[in-house]
Amino acid sequence: MKFFIDTANLAQIKEAQELGILDGVTTNPSLMAKEGITGKNNILKHYVDICNLVEGDVSAEVNALDLEGMIREGEELADLSDQIVIKLPMTIDGIKACKYFSDRELKTNMTLVFSAGQALLAAKAGATYVSPFIGRLDDISSDGLVLIEEIRDIYDNYGYETEILAASIRHTMHIVNCAKIGADVMTGPLSAILGLVKHPLTDLGIAQFVADYEKGNI
């Protein structure tokens, strides 16, 4: 399973990168705004800064809602680095833009996906990644993990190469459960990734080993 970090915060991206397990980064306009990154030039520069910190794919979202605007913005983003994945909203124009870019061998990520039908369309349009938002489904008393299972079944039925990128991950068990189902990638906050390390028996075991080692060395 690939691990992406879902943030535009450079310090957190660096911390995740230093763990040695990071495969990429996803961002969105809200995450950029949260870091105070506004204005086209600052946003483009921030994407370059992120690409310089990591080796893998970096999803950069278009803001336009019309096909022409998405193509213009997507081409500008893709020109920044080979690492850039053009992130497109799941709309009619988003699907058309996805096909346009995949025909030109540019990487795409169809975002804001909440149904298996939307994921099927993304695969048909040749998306590199499809991003089902599992946390937002859980927020409205639906079940995000069921959606991941449905998409996995559909993609396996037809051998679609689009990678399932489980997004809107809220906590550590979301990551574990997505891995059990077979999501190809997960993107989550640093806290959810670091949560994978923790177990009270590990802490107790370390304390015991340290104490026994020190006894033998007095």
Active site members: 87
C-beta of 168: minimal distance to ligand E4P in Å?
A: 3
Per CB under 6 A, 29 contacts ligand E4P: no
C-alpha to C-alpha distance for 29 and 149, rounded to whole angstroms = 28
CB of 204 to ligand E4P, least distance (A): 33
Rounded to whole angstroms, the Cα distance separating 122 from 128 reads 9
Contact map string, positions 90 to 119, toward ligand E4P, x by CB under 6 A: ---------------------x--------
Of 171-190, binders to ligand E4P (CB under 6 A) are 187
Distances (CA, A) of 102 to 26, 88, 109: 19, 12, 10
Q: Which stretch binds ligand E4P (CB under 6 A): 32-40, 42-50, 131-139, 200-208?
A: 131-139
Asked if residue 127 lies in contact with residue 155, where contact means CB atoms within 8 angstroms, the answer is no
φ, ψ at 172 (rounded to 5°): -60, -40
The stretches of 56-91 forming alpha helices (DSSP H) are 67-78
Q: Is 7 in the site for ligand E4P (CB under 6 A)?
A: no
Please tell me the distance from the alpha carbon of residue 27 to that of residue 13, in angstroms, as a whole number: 11
The rounded distance, in Å, linking the Cα atoms of 135 and 91 is: 20
Closest separation in Å from C-beta 100 to ligand E4P? 21
Q: Which residues in 54-93 contact ligand E4P (CB under 6 A)?
A: none
Smallest gap from residue 122 Cβ to ligand E4P (A): 13
Site membership for ligand E4P, residue 133 (CB under 6 A): yes
Among 136, 181, 182, 184, binds ligand E4P (CB under 6 A): 136
Cα dihedral sign, 59-187-140-144: positive
Minimum CB separation of residue 154 from ligand E4P in Å reads 20
Helix residue spans in the chain (DSSP H): 10-19, 29-34, 40-53, 67-78, 92-103, 116-124, 134-139, 144-158, 172-181, 190-195, 200-216
Cβ distance to ligand E4P smaller for residue 51 or 202: 51
Binding-site size, ligand E4P (CB under 6 A): 11
Where do we find the tokens 């535009």?
8
CB closer to ligand E4P out of 18 and 139: 139
Residue from the set 13, 167, 178, 190 that interacts with ligand E4P by CB under 6 A: 167
Q: Which residues bind ligand E4P (CB under 6 A)?
A: 6, 26, 28, 111, 131, 133, 135-136, 167-168, 187
